[in-house]
Amino acid sequence: MAYLYDFSEADGKARDLLGGKGAGLAEMTRLGLPVPPGFTITTEVCRVAMGRGDVPEDLWPEVDRAIERLEEKSGRTFGVGPEPILLSVRSGASVSMPGMMDTVLNLGINDNVVHDLVEWSGSAHFAWDAYRRFVQMYAKVVLGVDDQLFQDVLAKLRSERGVDDDSELTSNDLEKATRVFQSIVEEQRPGELPSDPGEQLRGAISAVFRSWSNKRAIDYRRIHRIPDTLGTAANVQMMVFGDLGDDSGTGVCFTRDPATGEAVAYGDYLPRAQGEDVVAGIRNTLTLDEFADLHPEGHAQLLRTMADLEQHYHDMLDIEFTIESGTLYILQVRSGKRTAEAAVRLAVAMQRDGLIDKATAVTRVEPASLEQLHRPSISPETTATPVVTGVAASPGAAAGVVVFTADEAVETAREGIDCILVRPETTPDDIHGMASALGILTSQGGKTSHAAVVARGMGKPAVTGASGLHVDAGSGIAHAGDVDLQRGDRITIDGTTGAVFVDEVELVEPQKLPDLETLLEWADEIRTMGVLANADMAADAAEARARGAEGIGLARTEHMFLGERLEIVQRIILTHDADERRQALERLERQQVDDFEGLLEAMDGLPVVVRLLDPPLHEFLPSRLELEEEALRRVRAGRPIDDLTDMSEEVARWEEDNPMLGLRGVRLGLMLDDLYRMQARAAAAALTNRLDAGGDPKLEIMVPLVSTVEELVRMKEVIEEEVSAAAERAETELDVPIGTMIELPRAALTAGEIAEIADFFSFGTNDLTQMTYGLSRDDAEGRFLRDYIERGILNSDPFQTLDREGVGRLIRVACKEGKEANPDLVLGLCGEHGGDPDSIAFVHELGLDYVSCSPPRIEGARLAAAQAVIERGEEVGG
């Protein structure tokens, strides 16, 4: 098996083997684009290294032969003059992880080669800058030396020279920096900075593969649910230099606007710079229009290349390029990170342009990202004045307290406080903080800086390059003109306009996106699984229907018992007076009729699944501690406490050591059947009322927490009695399917028996996950679940994405045996997993008829259900 492939010989479609970057370089080389030569070491080497702890020794002879071929193609030599090659080593997984792994540039330079570079380039400034960059990057990435040691040296030199940017230092300054850097490395890692180019290359390649397992890469994979087993490739490429002179520069561009999807070229350019300077955001950039003024021919060639590549890949692309002495080179192409709005608009526009079909368009949008489209923005009529304005890097508005470090963002978010991460610029090490913050603000960087690209990928508002903002993260303060922003101050950022405001400003709801309706119509044509909503109130049901819900799969009646009704529920539970209990039940029944009517009216013509009361009754009662504290206050005031004593005793009677496994669900209905009878009677009355009003109501009743078939048999009899009585009163026939939630392992394992009685199953995966794992969700999330995921004990949160091997196996058994016993059995899922794309794909595979989720996730679920059809290779139109 070959460990590596030259760009000129590799298959540009082999992303899994070559990684996205390597596949792109191979494909562009095949297309005849100006790509500097090089080779890709495959992801298989990374997987071997993960298993062995290091790359295989027999890789190095292949690398030596590849270098010989590269020298032959370029007519130059690696590690010696007179025309030396310098190399870059860059990571590249099959799934884009921008900036999360390591890169080493300018490999091949040493005390001899630097003088050859001076002769070759005619610029001592360029040669010594390349050398100091190599020492700094190699020491940081390969040897683990603290980069701040080098930054302090550069800061001192800039201060002595009176300049703001490293590019303004003289060649003597850069030579001095290089020598100081070398002494720092010798002090920190004696004898470990190699001068031999081959040794440099081997160290860099090994470090790039190790970086697959660094913290920021692991954090990124956890956030984006990327498997650890994929591995990264390593791309070794001849460097071209954007810092060679005034006729050189480097940039990043997108074939369309990644924030809006508009068909305009979008990007940044930096003269006299290397690519890392653009992405790092350490210098503010020029626009592509300004690039055109500097290099009209290069700009025109770049636009042609962008158009050709978009036509070839049928996608909006992110392209890295360099101009060396007036000549254009293309260094990378990949699918561009985009906002949800841009993704939707691009998918629809490219289908209309004939570049892709409807099915492909549906796969181009992340289902979970659609919730971003409903986030508010700053009112255009606001009278607030921005304290500073920067680059509109990622659209949307966000308000929160200022934090200056990634760790602060994580801790603040854990406390439930919204925050904005404010930095001079972000680096890949900030990824965990960026994920926790509501928005990102940087004083440096442009539209394609690390902060901008990552924020767009996460769907978070971002303002970059706010040059009027001076950030002193160490001191916890930022200065914007006369305004000081300190840690904990509230600000609002507008990633659509680039404006930053002190405190909060008026927000408005977003406008409807017509292309979203088009895309979802295509998705609806493709999907075979229904999408229903979890909704308890008529307003929620109306919102869900507006977002495309095809009914209510879960109406949780316990949510209807809160607020002003809590007192009624407490009287039902606590009173020993039969008349008082009856009166309270009748009052609650009238209100439940109104509740159910509202849901049936909002979903007229569509199914409404009402779940009878599920939690234990003590959850509706005051805590004994609160009662005791109130009693103590009364005693001190000389007031009687008899009523509190009686209530405390009654509360104690209902308390359980483990209420989750106690008297709840169907057990409660069988022990206190007047409560469940009241709910069934109210639901049936609402049904007949809607029929009398000329509606088309479709009521279904669901019994929770069934573990034995006999529980369902007896409860179904109670419900059917009430439905029959309502039908008799209304002198009509009522068809009310009666089913159960499958949320206990025993119910799943005896599904064949239960299915003979049930009209439908709805998998309550929240409780089924808790019961299968034997844990409490609230306790687990608060105490150890995050650590389990970070340490790799669990690959993902089982309450967010369905556990296929455990919980999923129970569902598979229940579906199979349930359908065998009752071929007409309807199968649904009503936990929050119903809005998770991975979980939707799994239950589609099992043949479920529908999923049900919260209203904000309806549109994403519609899209995910269609993608599940496409991913399985099932026949679709379009």
* 289 CB-near residues (< 8 Å, 6+ apart): none
Instruction: Encode 244-257 in three state secondary structure.
Output: CCCCCEEEEEECCC
The active-site residue out of 125, 299, 450, 833 is 450
**450 in active site:** yes
CA–CA distances in Å: residue 9 to residues 14, 94, 802: 12, 18, 42
For tokens 């992801």, name the residue: 43
Cβ 811 vs Cβ 746: under 8 Å = no
Catalytic position from the list 419, 830, 844, 853? 830
Residue from 306, 314, 289, 343 nearest 456 by CA: 343
How far is Cα 759 from Cα 827, in angstroms, rounded to an integer? Answer: 9
- Strand 552-556 to 530-534 pairing: parallel
**Is the separation of the CB atoms in 29 and 40 below 8 Å?**
no
Per-residue exposure over 56-70, b if at least 16 CB sit within 10 Å of its own CB, e if not: eeebeebbeebbeeb
- Cβ neighbourhood burial of 790 (10 Å; 0-12, 13-18, 19+): middle
State the chain's maximal CA–CA distance in angstroms.
104
Q: The sheet that has 4-6: what strands, in order across it?
A: 4-6, 38-41, 232-238, 87-93, 103-107
H or E element: which one contains 113?
Answer: helix 113-121
For residues 8 and 32, the answer to whether their CB atoms sit within 8 Å is: no
Residue 517 DSSP one-character state: H
Strands 266-271 and 249-254 come out as antiparallel
Q: Return the DSSP state at 236.
A: E
Q: Which among 646, 651, 629, 663 is positioned nearest to 570, based on CA atoms?
A: 651
Cβ–Cβ < 8 Å for 76, 42 = no
Whether the CB-CB separation of 358 and 522 falls below 8 Å is answered with: yes
Residue 830 among the catalytic residues: yes
Enzyme catalytic residues: 450, 830
